[in-house]
Chain A
Amino acid sequence: MTTPSPVVARYLDQLAHGLADCGLPADDSQEIAREIESHLADAAAAGTPIAESIRRLGSPQELARAYAVELLLRPAPRPRRQAWRSAAAVLTSLLTYAIAGALLVLGGALAIAGVVGTLAGLFAPWMPFEPTLRSGLPQIVVLCGSLVLGGLGVLLLRLVRTAWRIARARPRSVNVSQKEKLP
């Protein structure tokens, strides 16, 4: 492969810079520069003076702007599949909110039941409403059961917090992946 003349090399360099300034990724800019280099070589081989070929292409800045107008101002249409995917994302996040809400209520109730039960188990013998709370079960069973229920409640609350964070993070991550697709 022959090395391009200084005039061509300068044109390609300015073109790649112009494309980068317009926000095109470096890989794309390099590939476009290689394509224009090949165009200029073909034109030269056909006997067209380099100056004439460059005049037809326009200045590197003009050509870079033409790419930018064509590519950036007219983004690729979103494939239809994406619409389904975003509908599915909305459904799953709704579902996540519903499940998180139910778990929150359940966890809270279990935690309160655990605390109340433990207190009742500890202090019931000296409390006036002892018989209704103990409901005939041995004190140690009420105590252990309440502690387990309370622990379960705290676990559920943590689970809800995590689920909540994931549900809130999802829309943002979808946006990021869409942005990456643009040049």
Chain B
Amino acid sequence: MRRGLLELSVLALLEGEASYGYEIVNRLAAVPQLASGEGTLYPLLRRLRREGLLEAFWQESAAGPPRQYYRLTPGGRATLNRMRRQWRELAKGIGHLLDPREPKP
């Protein structure tokens, strides 16, 4: 389940603008529960790209070697929307289970 959440988080991060591995790692670190180490994230990025959800391009960096940027493909956007809907329904359902005063899904 954590893997699915990490995937959802990466897609959501890239919804607004393209980004590169190091930046994605640092932004994901804001949610420590995801436990997304560098060693997990880079292989995940590769798989999402191979599944056609992300596309990658190289861009020069002022500081050092070029960076590989990622952005959502139309398929990635559709998957993100589907996963976001599922996550919200699940969160609502669990919320109601934990506290019946919360609204039913």
Chain A residues proximal to chain B, CB less than 8 Å: 1-2, 31-32, 34-39, 41-45, 53, 56-58, 62-63, 66-67, 69-71, 74, 76-77, 183
In the complex, what's the smallest C-beta–C-beta distance from B101 to chain A, in angstroms?
40
User: Once the chains bind, are B21 and A38 in contact (CB under 8 Å)?
Assistant: yes
User: Once the chains bind, are A38 and B22 in contact (CB under 8 Å)?
Assistant: yes
Q: How many residues of B contact A (CB 8 A)?
A: 23
User: Once the chains bind, are B68 and A183 in contact (CB under 8 Å)?
Assistant: no
* B43: contacting residue among A45, A70, A76, CB under 8 A: A70
Q: Which of B27-76 contact A (CB under 8 A)?
A: 37-40, 42-44, 46-47, 50-52, 61, 63-68
User: Once the chains bind, are A35 and B64 in contact (CB under 8 Å)?
Assistant: no
**Which chain A positions have C-beta within 8 A of B21?**
35, 38-39
User: Once the chains bind, are A38 and B64 in contact (CB under 8 Å)?
Assistant: yes
Bound complex: CA of A11 vs CA of B52, how far in Å?
A: 29
In the complex, what's the smallest C-beta–C-beta distance from A11 to chain B, in angstroms?
13
Bound complex: CA of A42 vs CA of B19, how far in Å?
A: 13
Between-chain CB contacts (< 8 Å), 20 pairs:
A1-B64, A1-B65, A34-B68, A35-B21, A38-B64, A38-B65, A38-B66, A39-B25, A41-B64, A41-B65, A42-B64, A43-B22, A45-B63, A57-B39, A63-B42, A63-B43, A69-B43, A70-B46, A71-B43, A71-B47
Q: Can you name the residue of chain A whose Cβ is closest to the Cβ of B39?
A: A58
What are the 5 closest A-B residue pairs judged by CB atoms, nearest first? A41-B64, A70-B43, A42-B22, A58-B39, A67-B43
A53-B38, A57-B38 given; 8 more Cβ-contact pairs under 8 Å = A2-B64, A34-B68, A39-B38, A42-B61, A42-B67, A58-B39, A66-B43, A71-B43
Bound complex: CA of A63 vs CA of B21, how far in Å?
A: 15
**Which chain A positions have C-beta within 8 A of B64?**
1-2, 38, 41-42, 44-45
